[in-house]
Amino acid sequence: MGTDFKEQLQLLGESIRLGLNSLSVNKFRTLLSLLGITVGIYCIITVFAMVDSLEKNIRDSVQSLGSNVLYIQKWPWGGGGEYPWWKYLNRPEPTYSEYEKLKKLSRLSDKLVYGFGISATAKALGNEVKGTTVLFTTADYIKLWNQNIQAGRFFNEQEGKSGSQVCVLGYDVAQGLFAGIDPIGQKVQLKGKKLTVIGVFDKTGKSLVGNDNDQNIVAPASFGLRIVNPNSIEGSFIMARPIEGVSLAEYKNELRQHMRAIRRLKPKVEDNFALNEISLISASLDQIFNIVTIAGIFIGGFSILVGGFGIANIMFVSVKERTSEIGIRKALGAPARFILQQFLTESVALCFVGGLIGLVLVGITLLVVSGILEFPFYLSAKNIIQGVVISVVIGLVSGYAPARSASRLDPVEAIRQGS
């Protein structure tokens, strides 16, 4: 048994050597074969890599909202099908007083945060940044929102309650107003009021879900309510996180009961507020990216199919050109599996090398596109493995029929046809 296994390994090694040698001899044909599979792998892995990059960015952005955080808002997220916006249009916005009442009533809350935003122009030292989002919120915001302070600090509970005129700047706002100057302790003018800068956030970049924290300014909600008409506030929210060990379902039920009591809703009247959670977005994202992935496979599959047919066609041509050689080898005692292995080796080697070239081109393309769009497209280990596996499978599938036809040739007929 050991001798048979050794002979099989020798036959396999010899067939691989001959197959690779044939590829090196027929350079032009090899080049044409490589081109087809390279283009195929390039197309499908580029689609996979871009979809994966987009999905990662969006999911990371969504997770920054807090996986175990509920949002009490006027408008519900998602909705599927026809969105009944007319039901929600006249709902009241969550208010600061409701936030304070919830803090007193809720026994399952770890952190509660109130906030609302406005658009304003920030001015300082003769510079200005237009279109800045000013988020007025409470002190625990920094504990629920996944964002780090680069310099200085966030405002504390006392500053938040008293409405101190302090603020924390997004990275781009700080650069636009105080380029080359330490912003901590400087004054920023908003809506005719001056706020002292006490902190600067880390640079985060713009996400695909519309968040651009680098363009934000964060200040105490109590101060914001002094300079903004409460009746004109739109998009206010209450962020709520439960204490450890409490499920979101249980916490959601408690918040619903308290909000209904605060708003004095009768038992049969439906909620006039929404309790939103990240799982609603995640479920929608799963559906969207499943569709996008299927579309990517469909689009890239055509390229792979064309490349596979190209490999099969060239391998059939190779078998026909080497009919006499095959006949001689079989006449000298080469078994059918030796011929099969030789041609399969050629096909798999072609696809493997073509796939590697395609992956290198994908990496270069993503690097260039990332630089142009300033968005992190990347080639992951998963994408590389996908490319290699697809290449090998295409090599086996495309090369099997030509290899099998070569292995089944009659030696005498093959020598006669080739002469």
Q: Please write the tens of the pLDDT for every residue from 273-283.
A: 999 887 666 66
Asked if the structure places residue 235 within a domain, the reply is yes
Q: Across residues 250-259, what is the average pLDDT?
A: 94
Give the percent of the chain with pLDDT over 90. 34
Number of domains present in the structure of the chain: 2
φ, ψ at 112 (rounded to 5°): -130, 135
Asked if the structure places residue 1 within a domain, the reply is no
Asked if the structure places residue 150 within a domain, the reply is yes
Asked if the structure places residue 79 within a domain, the reply is no
Residues 48 and 180 in one domain: no
Asked if the structure places residue 84 within a domain, the reply is no
Q: What tens digit of pLDDT does each residue of 319-332 get?
A: 776 777 777 777 77
CA diameter of the chain: 101
Please say if the pLDDT value at position 33 is more than 60.
yes
Output the pLDDT for position 1.
44
Residues 127 and 262 in one domain: yes
DSSP 323-378: HHHHHHHHHTT--HHHHHHHHHHHHHHHHHHHHHHHHHHHHHHHHHHHHHHT----
Residues 37 and 168 in one domain: no
Residues 180 and 292 in one domain: no
Residues 99 and 213 in one domain: yes
Residues 265 and 406 in one domain: no
Residues 301 and 261 in one domain: no
Q: Across residues 54-67, what is the average pLDDT?
A: 66
Residues 131 and 161 in one domain: yes
Confidence tier at 292 by pLDDT (50, 70, 90): confident
Q: What tens digit of pLDDT does each residue of 4-20 get?
A: 545 455 544 554 554 45
Q: What tens digit of pLDDT does each residue of 138-157 get?
A: 999 998 887 789 999 999 99
Position of tokens 């090196």? 24
Asked if the structure places residue 78 within a domain, the reply is no
User: Which of 213, 245, 272 lies at the terminal end of a domain, its last residue?
Assistant: 272
3-state secondary structure (DSSP) of residue 77: coil
The letter for the amino acid at 60 is D
Q: What tens digit of pLDDT does each residue of 70-127 get?
A: 999 999 886 555 667 788 888 999 999 999 999 999 999 999 999 999 999 999 998 9
Residues 199 and 229 in one domain: yes
Q: What is the domain extent for residue 413?
A: 11-61+284-418
